[in-house]
């Protein structure tokens, strides 16, 4: 009797769902558990890209297509949990870009904000809104939204950097626009180093507007960053989860350097073993110096210089440094989450 009643209810509901489907409607109660979850439920999974393994593919791409033909010769780092979506986390894109000696990646601009973190090579450049900057390994470079930019390599060796963009965030809002510059290279209107001198030396133009969305400093040289970390380590103020972790900031506002992507640099001293930590921002890391390992939800990922790895949202993880000091660069969507009041963290045993 009960089975017959349950079958009748099931049939009635199925008929109802079919009829409302014709009106582009659906019952919330059938999908609510997947929409409003008790904690983050990300399709992003932990992943590691060892640079020595992927470098041959990056170089092979250089023989298959020119930088001009490709516009941006990049191999996308696709998260294994989101194949075909060009995402490294649910909200962020990442890829490895190659510029060969003598090449130019043509000028364009787009509403997506981009970061470059230099992996290999020395002496290639990027030009942003009329200023050129040479890039060295470990440099963090910003391309602000809607800023004209082109890249070139006047050195005698390949140049590789990690691209990070907020493409999925812009797609979420259907707010993507792009334009090509009329020539491959934009004219230079400011001397090299102008932005760093004007905004990054504890000085600002007297009439500087205070509402800059992205930092006007678009190259944060690794040499200065590393020196700062070494000076700060003298106070021995180590965070039990992160070691010594700093964020890159916009010197005009004191906020994060970019409006949609938070960027960080952290020093893990020799033998550091962090406490378990989790947060709602999925984090992309690049090892700059040293070797170590990160345990993510019980799985250990060993990494070394120039390796890239991702920690998904709300994944329990622990960083460990091996015999020497280690430096990690990282970026995430934390800035957006904090602005919206969504960001959370959990520290165990701290």
Phi, psi of 218 (to 5 degrees): -105, 0
Pairing assessment for the beta strands 74-76 and 93-99 based on DSSP bridges? antiparallel
92 with 194, same domain: the answer is: yes
pLDDT at 110: 97
* Total residues belonging to the chain: 350
The tokens describing 139, both together, are 């440099």
Other Cβ atoms less than 10 A from the Cβ of 279: the count is 21
81, part of any domain:
yes
pLDDT at 5: 73
82, part of any domain:
yes
29 with 121, same domain: the answer is: no
109 with 31, same domain: the answer is: no
Contact 101, 55 (CB under 8 A): no
163 with 58, same domain: the answer is: yes
161 with 204, same domain: the answer is: yes
22 with 59, same domain: the answer is: no
161, part of any domain:
yes
Low-confidence stretches of the chain (pLDDT < 70) are 1, 349-350
183, part of any domain:
yes
Which residue do the tokens 């509402």 mark?
Answer: 211
Per the structure, the count of domains in the chain is 2
The pLDDT tens digits for 200-223 are 888 888 888 877 789 999 999 999
pLDDT at 203: 86
Contact 152, 158 (CB under 8 A): no
179 with 209, same domain: the answer is: yes
127 with 161, same domain: the answer is: yes
pLDDT at 349: 67
29 with 95, same domain: the answer is: no
21 with 136, same domain: the answer is: no
Q: Following DSSP, what letter does each residue of 80-131 receive, concatenated? A: GGGTTS--SSSS-EEEEEEE-TT-EEEEEEESS-EEEEEEE-SSEEEEETTE
277, part of any domain:
yes
40, part of any domain:
no
The pLDDT tens digits for 281-315 are 999 999 999 999 999 999 999 999 999 999 999 99
125 with 31, same domain: the answer is: no
41, part of any domain:
no
Which residue do the tokens 């909200």 mark?
Answer: 91
Tell me how far apart the alpha carbons of residues 152 and 159 are, in angstroms, rounded to a whole number. 9
Contact 276, 325 (CB under 8 A): no
Tell me how far apart the alpha carbons of residues 268 and 242 are, in angstroms, rounded to a whole number. 7
16 with 94, same domain: the answer is: no
42, part of any domain:
no
Q: Which domain holds residue 14?
A: 2-35
Tell me how far apart the alpha carbons of residues 52 and 75 are, in angstroms, rounded to a whole number. 15
Contact 127, 150 (CB under 8 A): yes
């Amino acid at each position: 009797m009960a089975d017959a009643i349950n079958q009748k209810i099931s049939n009635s509901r199925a008929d109802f769902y079919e009829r409302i489907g014709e009106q582009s409607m659906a019952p919330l109660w059938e999908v609510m558990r997947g929409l409003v979850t008790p904690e983050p439920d990300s399709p992003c999974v932990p992943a590691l890209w060892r640079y020595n393994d992927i470098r041959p593919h990056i170089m092979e791409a250089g023989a298959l297509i020119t930088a001009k033909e490709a516009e941006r010769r990049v191999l996308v780092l696709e998260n294994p949990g989101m194949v075909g979506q060009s995402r490294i986390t649910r909200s962020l894109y990442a890829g490895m870009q190659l510029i060969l000696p003598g090449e130019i990646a043509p000028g364009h601009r787009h509403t997506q904000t981009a970061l470059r973190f230099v992996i290999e090579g020395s002496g290639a450049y990027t030009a942003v809104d009329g200023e050129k900057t040479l890039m060295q390994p470990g440099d963090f470079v910003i391309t602000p939204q809607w800023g004209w930019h082109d890249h070139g390599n006047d050195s005698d060796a390949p140049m590789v950097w990690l691209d990070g963009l907020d493409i999925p965030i812009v797609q979420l809002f259907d707010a993507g626009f792009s334009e090509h510059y009329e020539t491959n290279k934009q004219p230079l209107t400011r001397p090299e180093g102008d932005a760093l001198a004007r905004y990054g030396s504890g000085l600002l133009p007297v009439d500087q507007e205070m509402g800059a969305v992205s930092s006007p400093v678009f190259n944060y040289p690794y040499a200065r960053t590393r020196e700062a970390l070494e000076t700060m380590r003298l106070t021995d103020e180590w965070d039990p989860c992160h070691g010594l972790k700093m964020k890159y900031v916009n010197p005009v506002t004191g906020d994060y350097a970019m409006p949609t992507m938070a960027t960080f640099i952290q020093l893990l001293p020799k033998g550091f073993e962090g406490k378990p930590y989790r947060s709602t921002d999925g984090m992309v890391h690049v090892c700059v110096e040293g070797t170590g390992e990160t345990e993510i939800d019980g799985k250990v990922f060993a990494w070394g210089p120039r390796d890239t790895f991702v920690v998904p949202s709300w994944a329990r993880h622990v960083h460990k440094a091996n015999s020497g000091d280690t430096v990690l660069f990282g970026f995430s969507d934390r800035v957006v989450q904090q602005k919206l009041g969504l960001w959370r963290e959990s520290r165990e045993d701290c």
